[in-house]
Protein backbone atom coordinates (compact mmCIF):
# COMPACT_ATOMS: atom_id res chain seq x y z
CA UNK A 1 0.00 0.00 0.00
CA UNK A 2 1.31 3.43 -0.95
CA UNK A 3 0.77 6.21 1.58
CA UNK A 4 0.19 9.84 0.68
CA UNK A 5 2.49 12.52 2.06
CA UNK A 6 -0.12 13.50 4.67
CA UNK A 7 -0.61 9.86 5.71
CA UNK A 8 3.15 9.47 6.16
CA UNK A 9 3.26 12.63 8.28
CA UNK A 10 0.48 11.29 10.51
CA UNK A 11 2.27 7.95 10.84
CA UNK A 12 5.57 9.65 11.76
CA UNK A 13 3.83 11.68 14.47
CA UNK A 14 2.02 8.60 15.80
CA UNK A 15 5.22 6.54 15.97
CA UNK A 16 7.14 9.41 17.60
CA UNK A 17 4.41 9.73 20.24
CA UNK A 18 4.76 5.99 20.87
CA UNK A 19 8.43 6.59 21.71
CA UNK A 20 10.00 5.17 18.55
CA UNK A 21 13.42 6.48 17.61
CA UNK A 22 13.97 8.43 14.42
CA UNK A 23 15.80 5.47 12.91
CA UNK A 24 12.97 3.08 13.78
CA UNK A 25 10.47 5.48 12.21
CA UNK A 26 12.63 5.84 9.09
CA UNK A 27 12.78 2.08 8.66
CA UNK A 28 9.05 1.57 9.15
CA UNK A 29 7.78 4.52 7.09
CA UNK A 30 10.61 4.34 4.55
CA UNK A 31 11.53 8.01 4.57
CA UNK A 32 14.75 9.83 5.35
CA UNK A 33 15.88 10.95 8.78
CA UNK A 34 15.87 14.52 7.50
CA UNK A 35 12.24 14.29 6.40
CA UNK A 36 11.27 12.89 9.79
CA UNK A 37 13.05 15.78 11.46
CA UNK A 38 11.20 18.27 9.28
CA UNK A 39 7.84 16.69 10.10
CA UNK A 40 8.52 16.66 13.84
CA UNK A 41 9.85 20.23 13.74
CA UNK A 42 6.68 21.34 11.99
CA UNK A 43 4.55 19.69 14.69
CA UNK A 44 6.56 21.06 17.60
CA UNK A 45 6.90 24.51 16.07
CA UNK A 46 10.68 24.31 15.95
CA UNK A 47 12.25 26.05 12.99
CA UNK A 48 15.73 27.03 11.95
CA UNK A 49 15.43 30.42 13.66
CA UNK A 50 14.47 29.45 17.20
CA UNK A 51 15.63 25.81 17.50
CA UNK A 52 12.95 25.21 20.14
CA UNK A 53 14.25 27.74 22.63
CA UNK A 54 10.99 29.68 22.91
CA UNK A 55 7.86 27.65 23.53
CA UNK A 56 5.70 30.62 24.62
CA UNK A 57 3.93 30.99 21.29
CA UNK A 58 3.57 27.26 20.64
CA UNK A 59 0.30 25.34 20.89
CA UNK A 60 -0.34 23.22 23.96
CA UNK A 61 0.08 20.11 21.79
CA UNK A 62 3.46 21.33 20.51
CA UNK A 63 4.61 22.08 24.06
CA UNK A 64 3.52 18.65 25.32
CA UNK A 65 5.08 16.86 22.35
CA UNK A 66 8.35 18.78 22.79
CA UNK A 67 8.47 18.01 26.50
CA UNK A 68 7.73 14.33 25.95
CA UNK A 69 10.55 14.09 23.40
CA UNK A 70 13.02 15.94 25.66
CA UNK A 71 12.97 12.97 28.03
CA UNK A 72 14.49 10.86 25.24
CA UNK A 73 17.68 12.93 25.15
Neighbours of 38 (CB within 10 A): 16
Each residue's pLDDT tens digit, 45-65: 766 555 545 545 667 777 777
Please state the rounded mean pLDDT for residues 34-51: 79
At 70 the pLDDT is 57
Is the Cβ–Cβ distance between 55 and 62 less than 8 Å? Answer: yes
Give percent of the chain with pLDDT exceeding 70: 70
DSSP 58: S
Amino acid sequence: MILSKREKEKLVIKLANEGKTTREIAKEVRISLRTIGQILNKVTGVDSDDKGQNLKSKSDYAKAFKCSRMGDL
